[in-house]
Amino acid sequence: MTAAQEPLETRIRARAAAMGFDPVGITSLGPARTHDAFTEWLRSGYAGDMAYLGRGAEKRYDTRLPFEGVRSAVVVGLDYGGREPAGPVARYARGDDYHDIMTARLRELHDWISAETGAPVRGRAYVDTGPILERELAQRAGLGWIGKNTMLVNPRRGSFFFIGALFLDLDLESDAPFEADRCGTCTRCLDACPTDAFVAPRVMDATRCISYLTIEHRSAIPEALQPLIGSHLYGCDVCQDVCPWNHRFASELAEPAFAPREAVAGRDAVTLAHEIAAMDDETFPAAFRRSPMKRARLSGLKRNAAVVLGNAESSSGEPY
């Protein structure tokens, strides 16, 4: 069988893999099984300041609703280097913005699929930007299971990868969903969380999560939680760092776009905090152009820097 004679699904997976995506899966679109849990999570107030999660929530209950007429999704992962050393900035945010990188690549895949079918195919790329319960969609496409730390875990890659999806107006044969729960009795992620953000396995109170507090939260970090932030200036990888699946399967950084930018590379927490504290409205955009860290805004990063420096002073007894 020649490549042109292979099923379209096989060719799509091969093309996506050649573009650097791994894992890759295909699933049909339809009602979300986790919509009740999502609704209860919102009702419990665990979303904090992330009011956007509640807007248009009804579209999250059925993956056919965000873009009318679509029937299938190609769901992909893009690794961001779980073997990179821990530091004051979470690994995913040290380089260029994954939204830009993955969206451009998924649009390229979309164009390729249209060329392969010989006619324009309606579709849309989503990378953490639409009303979609991405982790369930990825699980349905066979990419992994949702771990106790709420991250999607792949049995060959761990969890240090982004999720993206290309919704298509095509009937594609679905991959088998990933039904197994391979966390077993392990609770390392729950036990290691510095702020006790996990209400239960797979249930996170985002208002206690360091990633939320240092990125999404717009006001002062609650005083009681500030010492628990430690040296985390932007984001947190603790619940991934301790996961046995990452210990075994996390990968070296292979995507150049995600390599640490000059503004954060090689910086310890105190040095980086001082440098951010000294930034202004001119130096900040220059240092963090196309960076995910711009989401916290300069005011948020300065707030985080003050907390990190305060924690360093408390632990050493010396002013920073």
In a domain, 256, yes or no: no
Looking at the fold, whether 22 and 122 belong to one and the same domain comes out as yes
Question: Binning pLDDT at 50, 70 and 90, where does residue 56 land?
Answer: confident
Question: Binning pLDDT at 50, 70 and 90, where does residue 270 land?
Answer: very high
Please report, for the chain, how many H helices and E strands are present, in that order.
12, 8
For 168-193, how does the pLDDT look when each residue is reduced to its tens digit (9 = 90+)? 999 999 999 999 999 999 999 999 99
Question: What is the domain range of residue 157?
Answer: 3-168
Whole-number Å distance between alpha carbons of 134 and 184 = 23
In a domain, 251, yes or no: no
In a domain, 182, yes or no: no
For 208-249, how does the pLDDT look when each residue is reduced to its tens digit (9 = 90+)? 999 999 999 999 999 999 999 999 999 999 999 999 999 999
Looking at the fold, whether 158 and 214 belong to one and the same domain comes out as no
Looking at the fold, whether 148 and 13 belong to one and the same domain comes out as yes
Looking at the fold, whether 160 and 194 belong to one and the same domain comes out as no
What is the set of active-site residues? Answer: 128
CA distances 224 to 177, 205, 227, 301, 307, Å, are 42, 16, 7, 19, 12
Looking at the fold, whether 215 and 83 belong to one and the same domain comes out as no
Pick from 134, 168, 202: which residue ends a domain?
168
Looking at the fold, whether 37 and 159 belong to one and the same domain comes out as yes
Query: For the whole prediction, is pTM greater than 0.85?
Result: yes
Q: Does the structure show a pLDDT above 80 at 317?
A: no
In a domain, 179, yes or no: no
Instruction: Give the residue among 121, 116, 81, 73 at the shortest CA–CA distance from 252.
Output: 81
Looking at the fold, whether 15 and 160 belong to one and the same domain comes out as yes
Q: Does the structure show a pLDDT above 60 at 121?
A: yes
Q: Does the structure show a pLDDT above 70 at 1?
A: no
Question: Binning pLDDT at 50, 70 and 90, where does residue 319 land?
Answer: low
What pLDDT shows up at residue 38? Answer: 95
Name the percent of the chain lying above pLDDT 70: 97
In a domain, 252, yes or no: no
Looking at the fold, whether 34 and 153 belong to one and the same domain comes out as yes
Q: What is the mean pLDDT of the chain?
A: 96
Looking at the fold, whether 160 and 285 belong to one and the same domain comes out as no
Name the percent of the chain lying above pLDDT 90: 95
Looking at the fold, whether 150 and 67 belong to one and the same domain comes out as yes
Counted domains in the chain: 2
What pLDDT shows up at residue 206? Answer: 98
What is the token pair recorded at 103? 């969206």
Looking at the fold, whether 114 and 196 belong to one and the same domain comes out as no
Alpha helices (H) along the chain? 8-18, 35-43, 98-117, 134-140, 188-192, 210-211, 226-229, 238-241, 244-249, 269-277, 283-287, 297-316
In a domain, 278, yes or no: yes
In a domain, 183, yes or no: no
Q: Does the structure show a pLDDT above 80 at 295?
A: yes
In a domain, 19, yes or no: yes
For 128-149, how does the pLDDT look when each residue is reduced to its tens digit (9 = 90+)? 989 999 999 999 999 999 999 9
Pick from 111, 138, 168: which residue ends a domain?
168
What pLDDT shows up at residue 315? Answer: 74
Looking at the fold, whether 103 and 203 belong to one and the same domain comes out as no
Q: Does the structure show a pLDDT above 80 at 4?
A: no
